[in-house]
Structures are given as structure tokens and as C-alpha cells.
A = this chain, B = another copy of it.
Amino acid sequence: MTSAFSFKLLATDGGARLGEIGTPRGTIRTPAFMPVGTAATVKAVFLDDVRRTGADVILGNTYHLMLRPGAERVARLGGLHRFMRWDGPILTDSGGFQVMSLSQLRTVTEQGVSFRSHIDGALYDLSPERSIEVQNLLGADIQMQFDECTPFPATFEEAARSMELSLRWGERSLAAFRERAPAGRALFGIVQGSVYPELRTQSAQALVAMNFDGYSIGGLAVGEGQNAMFETLSHTTPLLPEGKPRYLMGVGTPADIIGAVERGVDMFDCVMPTRSGRHGQAFTWSGKLNMRNAVHMEDMRPLDETSECPAARDYSRAYIHHLLRAGEYLAPMILSWANTNFYQELMAAIRQSIREGNFAELAARVRGAYPSAESHTHAATSKG
């Protein structure tokens, strides 16, 4: 525990970094994967169980929470930590990505974005200042600058215009944050620039000059493919200061994470573990299993008998298969929990391998189980 936000680089193995983020609410061991708690819940998993998987930090979505239950309401009720019962650090995004992908009738101006809620059509404004205000009302420990998520594909000119707007919004976000945020909270800048190295360079250099507490890499995993994502990462991370954490937003598959860690990324979030769980898929050390497949019908083995997670260890594949076929709640409950746990096991293994200097071996093992063809493209939905 520290009273200020901090980052310590503990070890490296090739490009992979082992570190620790200090926050007043606890330490985040990096590389870290943040379970996504879109609407103040990691879907279909009790937070007590999320905690037991070893997650140090979870993510909340500013867009969803400002629409429902509302940022001012959450603040009146004591903040997001108390509302959802999570006493560790919470990171919030800025709302920018979901505004672009979910809201209706939006108008983007220099000032910010006006849009209608995808829930009830109500009119909202979001700007750098309001985004920071919302994130402060929620009580987020790690906040994101308001940005425009550049669509993909974008021409160089479109990507440049969008990146420059995000830079100006980053400056305003930082001013609002410095004016309002209580001590110990952190604000990250977001590097944009699509797949254009020149723009990524401009974006990174300008943000670094503003001296954020950490740097996110945005606008990836939006359809560019794993190769382009990795190339952009290889270009971008060397532009960022060693002594600050780096967060690749919305990524990804186990192989995506391995490749990004290799390129110096420290933090990740993705809906994959829970969304795949709701769709009947299980992540294991042997690869992804489709539990609806009839091959599991009479298989009494658990997903992973060596796991310490009850969801992975205690329920047979035959039983999970049956629950899925019967449309029972317990199937997504078991799979979302087991997948959330698998991602934490993966991150723990990554951290251990960096510490021990054998990250490459782990990387090969994970790539064997998760072919790169299955790279993740994230898409925000109302279901998070």
C-alpha cells in the first residue's frame, strides 16, 4: 500500500516487464488482467469469487455507469467501490469508446460529444471535463483521458484529425483531473493514430510531454488483425517512458496478451472471459473448449483438475454440457468464473516466467494452445 500512485519495474525478460503499480487501495501486480465490470458487476460472477481468482484491479465502464445507475447516484451511495463491493483499485475508461460504438445520434464537436442513450434515448453530453467529473464521482482510482476512438479502417488524414482531437481532449482531461481528483488517483493518456506509425509517434510524444501517470494504447483490436496490432505495439511501446505503466485497452485472447507482454505492455482488460463463458466456451491451458460440443456429453473430467478454482476443478464437463443444453443459469456462472480464473492463472504464470527469465517458453506454450488466427476483435455492446 502506498498513499500515492506509483509504478515499480521489478524485472524484464526480453521486452516483457514485471512490475508493481502502487495505489492507495492496494498493489497491482503487472502484467495484470482486469476483469471487466461494465455495469458495476463482472457478469455472472460474484465479486468475492473474482477476488479469489487473484485479480488485483477491475474495470468499470464510464459510459454504462453514467447512464445507469448514474454517476451522481453512485456518488450519493458512497461511490462505485462501496456500491459494487470491491475494495481494491478500480480503473474506469473515459466513455469515449462506448459513445462511439453504442450511443445513437451522436454529434462530435471540439467541445465534446452529444449523444442519446442506447437504453432509453435520453440526451447526454460527454466532454473531457465531464468524463473526468464522472470518473471522480464513481471514485475511480485509475482514470482515462477522454478520447475519440478512431474508427477502423481510417485514412491517414482521418486518423490524424482524430488523434489530434484526442490530444487536445487529453490536455483538457489532465487539467480537469489536476483540478479535481483527490490525491492518490491516477490519469492515463491514450495513444491513438490507428495503424500509422508516424501518427502513433506524434501522439505518444505529445502525451509523454504532458506527463500522465500512465499510458494507454487505444484504437487497437478493432479489426486490424493481430499482426498489425503487434506491429503498432512494437512501434509504440519504445516511445513510452520505462517508469510508467502501459495499458493495451480491450485486449484480448491469451495469444494477444502474450504477444503484447512481449512488446512491453503491462495492463489488459477484455470482456472475453465472461462473454465467452456466457456463450459456452471455456479457456483452459490446452486451448478453448466449446462446451456445447457433444464430445463433452459423458466426460466426467473437470475443466482443470489441477486448478484451485472451484469452477474449473469441481464441475464435470458432462455436467457443464448438460447445463448449457438445458439453458441453466449455472452454466454461464461456472464458465464465467472459470474463465475469469484462467485469465488470472495466465497472468500469474506470465509474471512468474518473467521473474524466472523463461517467458519465451511460456509464450510458446500459450501460442500452441491459442493459435493467432483467433485474435480478438473487441466490440462494445450494450451487454458489455
B43 touches A318 (CB 8 A): no
- Chain A contacts to B: CB under 8 angstroms: 39-41, 43-46, 48, 68-69, 73, 76-78, 83-85, 297-298, 300, 310, 314-316, 318-319, 322-323, 325-326, 328-330, 332-333
A323 and B83: CB pair below 8 A? Answer: no
Contact partner, A76, options B41, B84, B298, B319, Cβ 8 Å: B298
Residues of B with C-beta under 8 A to A325:
68-69
* Residues on B with beta carbons closer than 8 Å to the beta carbon of A330: 41, 43-46
Beta-carbon contact of B84 and A319 below 8 Å: yes
Most buried by B among A48, A298, A315, A329: A329
B residues within 8 A CB of A41? Answer: 323, 326, 328-330
Distance (whole angstroms) from the CB of A259 to the closest CB of chain B:
31
CB-CB under 8 A for A85 and B46, given A39-B328, A68-B326, A298-B73: no
Closest 3 CB pairs of A and B: A44-B329, A39-B326, A41-B330
Contact A300 B85 (CB under 8 A): no
Contact of A318 among B46, B83, B316, B329 (CB under 8 A): B83
Are A40 and B333 in contact, CB atoms less than 8 angstroms apart?
no
| Pair B322/A329 contact, Cβ less than 8 Å | no
Shortest CB distance A352–B (Å)? 29
- Asked whether A77 and B326 contact (CB < 8 A) given A44-B333, A46-B333, A48-B310, the answer is no
Contact A329 B333 (CB under 8 A): yes
Can you name 10 extra interface pairs (CB under 8 A) apart from A44-B329, A77-B298, A84-B319? A41-B323, A41-B328, A41-B329, A44-B330, A44-B333, A48-B310, A69-B322, A77-B318, A83-B322, A329-B333
Task: Give min CB distance, A235 to chain B, whole Å.
Answer: 39
Q: Which residues of B contact A314 (CB under 8 A)?
A: 85
